[in-house]
Amino acid sequence: MTNQLPDLRTGEQRLRGLVGDILTEAKKQGADAAEVSVSEDVGFGVTVRMRELESVEFNHDRGFGITVYFGQRKGSASTSDSSTEAIRETVRAAANIARHTQEDPAAGLADADRMATDLRDLDLYHPWSVDADEARELALTCEDAGLEHDPRIRNSDGASVSTQQSCRVYGNSHGFIGSYLGSRHSLSCVLIATDDAGMQRDYWYSTSRVPGRLEAAKAVGLEAARRTVARLSPRRVRTGTFPVLFSAQTAGGIAGHLLGAISGGALYRKASFLLDSLGEKVAADHLTLAEDPHLLQGLGSATFDGEGVATTPKAFIDRGVVSSYLLSSYSARKLGMATTGNAGGVYNLTVSGRTVPASGLLSELGTGLLVTDLMGQGVNAVTGDYSRGAAGFWVENGEIAHPVDEITIASNLKDMLNRVVCLGDDLDTRGNIRSPSMLIEQMTLAGS
């Protein structure tokens, strides 16, 4: 098996040219304004299971999203066909939609003076020369390390190696056309262990834009095995109110709920528990959530957002106080405000605050719950009520006593955010929201 992945650098200029052609076609068809987004993705993934090759999947996808405006009437259409006739028909479809759509005072391109001008190279593109045979061997090495770690590991949900390249182009009739290339590689392993109390499953993974920065295959398999075995023979815990320590892998979800509550869409729809919170204290006074869109090799880095607006470093929560909402041009207009350059979300959001060494977090916790896995979607964005299934470890006097599962943890996000005691120094950088472990002073646990 070999892979024939193209180098997307050779096609970037062609895609930029196609965006320009589409914008010209939109003008020919009478549109007052238009914007075009293009994505091209290419890559492959290899999965093995129980030391046998299970799948090899190659992908090469390209899509054009076209939006036209007639006054403040908007129409959108998409196509994967870049032929002249297909583009013409897609623009026509978008125009027909716009002509039959009611005017929306908030609709339209982002303001021309907000377009990005500093399109620096953020070092996001690092293709991996691995072929499918080499990827299979890496996956086998990873899984084998996990399977050999402990005789109680008797099954596997597989180990996978993936490499992906992407090209993103955005242009609009302000004359802006921006593009950037990116890569993302990953290695993961999912294992199943069994003892007299039943089966438990856990995983580990590594991801990076740079292949040389992935964790070693054996290390990923061993960590997956360690985590899986540690979950064996769980017990229930008594119902009550206790401190809860969210691992770095689960704490990012709390930050995500907070960001959702201060996002423009939730605010103008009045579907947020943090309405009119700008300038208000909503979290512990040591807690800060800030983004750095220009972080070199960052998984969430970009010089412009989904509307071509320049991205800028900023804090959304500054020492517990809401210092900025997350706004696109549309949501900003609905709120009578200005875009924050966050059409499409945040860019390398990092959670920071009072920090203690990860090795000392259990001592800070004392007696309570360490959460390593969350289940369900029991979060009410309007009220902030939080209730989710959880698994992890019961901690007594700063020491892990035993694993637990099938419990529910509950509180309100306002209370949780204001009761963040401290963070760990174990920042998880494997995603766009980068969070360390987070200790909440108290939550309700429903166990036995």
Write down the mean pLDDT value for the chain: 96
Answer yes or no: is pLDDT of 447 > 90: no
* Interacting residues of 440 by C-beta distance below 8 A, sequence separation 6+: 243, 244, 245, 246, 411, 416, 419, 420, 421
**Average of per-residue pLDDT across 34-47:** 97
5 pLDDT band, cuts 50/70/90, is confident
Domains and CATH numbers, the chain: 9-230 (3.30.2290.10), 234-448 (no CATH)
Res 7: pLDDT: 81
Q: How far apart are CA 309 and CA 117, in angstroms?
A: 9
pLDDT tens string 123-173: 999 999 999 999 999 999 999 999 999 999 999 999 999 999 999 999 999
135-151 core/surface letters (b: 16 or more CB in 10 A; e: else): bbebbbbbbbbbbebee
Q: How far apart are CA 263 and CA 349, in angstroms?
A: 14
Q: How far apart are CA 88 and CA 25, in angstroms?
A: 7
CA angle 281, 286, 292 (to 5 degrees): 90
Res 101: pLDDT: 94
pLDDT tens string 405-419: 999 999 999 999 999
**Average of per-residue pLDDT across 63-69:** 98
**Average of per-residue pLDDT across 185-198:** 97
pLDDT tens string 193-231: 999 999 999 999 999 999 999 999 999 999 999 999 999
Res 236: pLDDT: 87
377 pLDDT band, cuts 50/70/90, is confident
Res 219: pLDDT: 98
Answer yes or no: is pLDDT of 33 > 80: yes
Answer whether 0.85 is exceeded by the pTM.
yes
Helix (H, G, I), strand (E, B) or coil at 279: coil
Res 9: pLDDT: 86
Residue 290 and residue 349 in contact, taking contact as beta carbons nearer than 8 Å: yes
Res 3: pLDDT: 54
pLDDT tens string 367-376: 999 999 999 8
